[in-house]
Structure formats: structure tokens, C-alpha cells
Amino acid sequence: MVVIRAAVLVACAAAIVIAVNSGERASRYHVRLARVHPLHQASAASSRRVITIGYSAQHRPIRAVLVGDPHAVRSALVVGCIHGDEQAGIAVADLLAARAPPRGVALWIVPVLNPDGVVADTRQNGDGVDLNRNFPYRWRPLGSRGYQQYSGAHPLSEPEARAARRLILQVRPSISIWFHQPLGVVDLSGGSAALERDFAHLVGLPVTRLTRYPGSAAGWENHRFPGTTAFVVELPPGPLSHAATARYADAVLRAAGMWDASPTARSAVCRPG
């Protein structure tokens, strides 16, 4: 069961309606943040809550949207953008934030984990670190600042990675989906291959096993919480069409609503039918 501190929810709860624009860039991102902040005064009874989970290296807020009951039996996590120059997943996250979650599921959505990178249109955060090399599992030094996959001074050196880790440790999602670009595949990331293959079938992408890089977010999750599944969806290059955005959002909701990560039922059940 997801445990949330009531005081935090009362202080941070918000209803949110987010306009979907698969081509939005840095200027629109600033607008979205400005719109979110005043909504924190909304009623805690709202089914949508916006919570600031941390701040970036350049002190931009990182916000999560909780859709549904925080005490639901199952939770799922979607991260729209961890690399700032891979922004297509933000549109999927925004659409999910405006939809109702499956019954019995708390859906946590982080549209942008790397706001500094989005503003600068760079892979790395404001410290020049590749956040998907900064998580603790099998972390190792990679290059130095200026290198594309610079992993930081040490594991969790970056505030964005620490914010994601805190959220994941708190909500313990059964499924986590991390959107990337531009390869157009679903990665066999180390969780349930059946679920990953079924998700790929739903969205029409091939399945492959990409290189298991040290310090990746999905690798850390799968290691830290055996029996759950975190995986990478590499979207095709460029912005998504409205139809494609809806297709990915539908697949997320279907997977989140029907996947059972319990030890007795670790099979994918999100096949269309």
C-alpha cells in the first residue's frame, strides 16, 4: 500500500488540467510550471495532486502529478523526460495527467525530471551530468563534465536523481516506464520481459535488449525491488502526433491497470482483447 504523509498531501494537493502539445519546447515548459504553482491551494480531496518532489541543479522545481487514490493497492510511475533533449515523452505524461487512472491504481507522473536539460535542450542536467548514469546500481565513473554520459562525482550526486529515488522508495511502483528517444524500441530492461513485450505490441514498437549501462534508473529499480518492472520506452525521433501520444498513454493505463507484480502472478496481462 502506498503510504503518503497526510500533511504533505494537504499542503501540496492540486487539481490539474494540462494541455497536450507534443511539440512544446523550453518556453512552453516555463509556462506549464507557472500554471501549476498556484493550484497547490486546491482541495486535498481532489483526484489529482501536484507535489514538488525536489529541485534541479539550477533550482527549478521538479513536480510529480498523482492521479487517483494515494492509498491504492498498486502504484505505477511514468517519467516523461530524463534526458533534456528527448522531450517527446512529456506529451504522453501530460495526457496521462489529464486522464482517470485504472481502478485501484495510484498513477504517479513526473513529466520532466530534468528541467534544466529541457530548458537548455541538452541530454545532461545543469551540472553536465547524465542523470541516467547517476543512480546507485553498478554506478561507476564515466568521463568528466563535457562528456555526453558523464555519470557525476558519485552515485546520486545530482538532486534530480535523489528526488526520483525518494519518490520511488516512497511509492514503490509495481511498474515504472521511463520514456527516452530516439531509437523507437521497447528495451528489455531487466524486469518482466513478458510485460515489456506486451507493451511493445500495444504501441507497435519492436523489442530489443539495449546495452545495460551502469547507474541507470531502470536498472536500479529492478535491482532494488525484485518482482516489479521498470523499463525504458525509446520513442521514435521527433515530436509525437496526437494519435501516437494517445496510443502510448492508452498502453500505459492498460499495463498499469492489469499488471500484477505479486510473487504468485508475475505475468503480463495487458494484451489487447
pLDDT tens across 166-220, in order? 999 999 999 999 999 999 999 999 999 999 999 999 999 999 999 999 999 999 9
Domain containing residue 33: 6-180+189-258
Any domain includes 269: no
Any domain includes 266: no
CB 40 within 8 A of CB 14: yes
User: In sequence order, what E strands does 14-100 have?
Assistant: 48-55, 61-67, 74-79
What gap in Å lies between CA 50 and CA 7, rounded to an integer?
14
From the list 154, 166, 159, the residue with the least C-alpha distance to 115 is 159
Alpha-helical regions (H) of the chain: 6-12, 26-36, 88-97, 115-120, 159-171, 193-203, 217-224, 242-258
pLDDT of residue 259: 57
Any domain includes 273: no
Residue 226 has pLDDT above 90, yes or no: yes
pLDDT of residue 102: 86
What gap in Å lies between CA 220 and CA 209, rounded to an integer?
16
Query: How do strand 61-67 and strand 229-234 relate by DSSP bridges?
Result: unpaired
pLDDT of residue 272: 35
Strand partners, 260: 267
Chain mean position to CA 227: 19
Any domain includes 272: no
Across the range 93-99, mean pLDDT stands at: 95
Domain count, the chain: 1
Residue 263 has pLDDT above 50, yes or no: no
Any domain includes 127: yes
What gap in Å lies between CA 184 and CA 168, rounded to an integer?
26
Any domain includes 138: yes
Residue 140 has pLDDT above 80, yes or no: yes
Any domain includes 68: yes
Any domain includes 84: yes
Scan for cell 510485460, then name that residue. Answer: 195
pLDDT of residue 265: 37
What gap in Å lies between CA 75 and CA 69, rounded to an integer?
9
Tens of pLDDT along 15-57?
333 333 333 333 333 323 223 322 232 233 338 899 999 999 9
Residue 146 has pLDDT above 60, yes or no: yes
User: How many CB atoms neighbour CB 207 within 10 A?
Assistant: 15
CATH number at residue 133: 3.40.630.10
Kindly report the average pLDDT of the chain as a whole number.
82
Across the range 133-151, mean pLDDT stands at: 95
